[in-house]
Amino acid sequence: MRDSNLKICLVDQGIIAQGTSLKTTGKLNYLQELIYSNLVSKYSFEVAKLYLESQKLAIKAVKDIIDQEQIDCNFEQVSSFVFTNKEDEVDKIKEEKKILESLFIKVNEHKNIPLNLNSLYAISVNDTAIFHPYKYLTKLKKLCKESNVEMYEKTKITDIKKVNDKYICKSNNYSIKAKKVILACHYPYFLRPFLLPLKTYIEKSYICAANTVDYYKNTFITSSLPCKSLRYHKSDKNYIIFLNGSHNICNNLNYTKNFEQLISEAKQIGINPEYIWSNDDLMTPDRIPYIGKIQKGNSDLLLATGFNTWGMTNGTLAGMILSDIILGRKNKFEDMVDPLRVNNFKYLNGYLLNISSNIKSYVQNYVYKNKQWYTPCVKFESRNGKSIAIYKEKGNEYIVYNKCPHLGCSLIFNEIEKTWDCPCHASRFNLEGKCIKGPSNYNISYKEKN
């Protein structure tokens, strides 16, 4: 795109590369749990083959960019494992192996894996990779600036309207006119006719990192939930990154307990966490992302979301597909990831789960108001007819409205990360009430009326 002579503007609510991409485990991997047997079962062998090709192409694209631009981002080719300690998962992994081999992928079998983890069976492939996403993306940011791409950080787009043949993208203080718009935000709430809440759900994960003496050139992930994922990172020290306890954001709302579980599970396998954090991923029923046109025949308003925890490959894939659409070129993966695709009826359960999860989150918010998940240092009051929450720490008092401005869900205080989190659509606010992650566009800071 930077060689297309198009005038490009990039707008980010925060700082570029410091959102979800900063919190990822940084895998470039096509061995994604049991995705291929799932696609064969629900769609066809041809769809599974196409998805595999898209992921391998994305990995190659990242490596080519790194080589061409000489980006120092700890890129390293590694082996990747899918494993299980459940008897009923063994045959499923064997089926995944069979499908991959029919797609000419060399797959290795293992009864044990080189970690202190229980494993009945595992498979691995050798041609995947890891890297440092923040180093990679900050270099791309620099290259874009050198190519005269306009960038606006700490800028929220609060509304998008089409006027004649242009889109008017409004921020708090300015408007941007554009012929074409790409919505690449985590939860693109602008899509009111698209019914995004019924087509997706949000998965929350808990991650830690610790210094380690050992270093294995491998990544590991379980074949099913509850997910466990590990990888190593080599810098001035060796680190192991461990993910545990992924769940639908509408469930398991005791975040302190979830972090405690992460630390407990980590220590059981010899990891003493030095850093801990959480991350949110937008999931689709068929595990294929939404990339492309939001309205049939309209190539001026485009979408890239629903990367299903594999954002490093699917984000790269989105860039290639959307570039082709804008430049009038046909991309072979465009139909597979079409946001307007009609899912196989076998994915009906996924849609019903999304609907029930949304209903559950709204009911529990309005009935229980999530107050059972607050610490003793949080108290509630009613001021000027509004419900507020007060958090005290080290002599400081933080007062916020305790409802998310997006759709009014009651917020949960995340005691570990010191944020107010929405359990409906993952909006996030800092202690002072400033919105640091959408879909909310507004702060929850409390202001006394004069």
For 34-131, list the strands marked E by DSSP.
76-84, 108-110, 121-130
Contact in structure between 108 and 161 (CB atoms under 8 Å): no
* pLDDT score for 441: 83
Q: Which position has the higher pLDDT, 116 or 202?
A: 202
Q: Is the pLDDT of residue 270 over 80?
A: yes
* pLDDT score for 450: 41
Whether residue 388 lies inside any domain: the answer is yes
Whether residue 153 lies inside any domain: the answer is no
Q: Is the pLDDT of residue 61 over 90?
A: yes
* pLDDT tens digits, 18-51: 888 888 999 999 999 999 999 999 899 999 999 9
Q: Is 98 helix (H, G, I), strand (E, B) or coil?
A: helix
The closest alpha carbon to 62, from 136, 147, 142, 144, belongs to 136
* pLDDT score for 195: 74
Whether residue 117 lies inside any domain: the answer is no
Q: Is the pLDDT of residue 346 over 80?
A: no
* pLDDT score for 13: 86
Count structural domains, the chain.
1
Residue matched to tokens 């939404």? 290
Q: Is the pLDDT of residue 333 over 60?
A: yes
Give the structural domain span for 410: 369-437
| Minimum mean pLDDT range among 61-65, 95-99, 293-297 | 293-297
* pLDDT score for 4: 72
Whether residue 72 lies inside any domain: the answer is no
Q: Would you place residue 375 in the very low, low, confident or very high pLDDT band (cuts 50, 70, 90)?
A: confident
* pLDDT tens digits, 66-81: 999 999 999 999 999 9
The closest alpha carbon to 209, from 182, 243, 158, belongs to 243
CATH assignment of the domain containing 403: 2.102.10.10
* pLDDT tens digits, 196-214: 877 888 999 999 999 988 8
Instruction: Label residue 240 left, alpha or beta by phi (over 0 means left) and psi (-120 to 50 means alpha).
Output: beta
Q: Is the pLDDT of residue 254 over 70?
A: yes
For 150-237, list the strands marked E by DSSP.
150-152, 159-163, 166-170, 175-178, 181-183, 201-211, 218-222, 228-234
The closest alpha carbon to 321, from 311, 312, 309, 330, belongs to 330
* pLDDT tens digits, 423-432: 888 899 999 9
Whether residue 387 lies inside any domain: the answer is yes
Whether residue 130 lies inside any domain: the answer is no
Mean pLDDT across the stretch 358-386? 71
The closest alpha carbon to 369, from 387, 351, 384, 382, belongs to 387
The closest alpha carbon to 304, from 435, 212, 183, belongs to 183
Q: Is the pLDDT of residue 190 over 70?
A: no
Q: Would you place residue 345 in the very low, low, confident or very high pLDDT band (cuts 50, 70, 90)?
A: low
Whether residue 201 lies inside any domain: the answer is no
Mean pLDDT across the stretch 405-411? 85
Q: Is the pLDDT of residue 130 over 80?
A: yes
* pLDDT score for 303: 94
Contact in structure between 35 and 287 (CB atoms under 8 Å): yes
CB-based burial, 104-120: b 16+ in 10 Å, e otherwise = ebebeeeeebebebebe
What integer best gives the mean pLDDT of the chain? 89
Q: Would you place residue 302 in the very low, low, confident or very high pLDDT band (cuts 50, 70, 90)?
A: very high
Q: Would you place residue 131 in the very low, low, confident or very high pLDDT band (cuts 50, 70, 90)?
A: very high
Contact in structure between 47 and 62 (CB atoms under 8 Å): no
Q: Is the pLDDT of residue 3 over 70?
A: no
Q: How far apart are the first and last CA of the chain?
A: 52
The model's pTM is: 0.91
Whether residue 410 lies inside any domain: the answer is yes
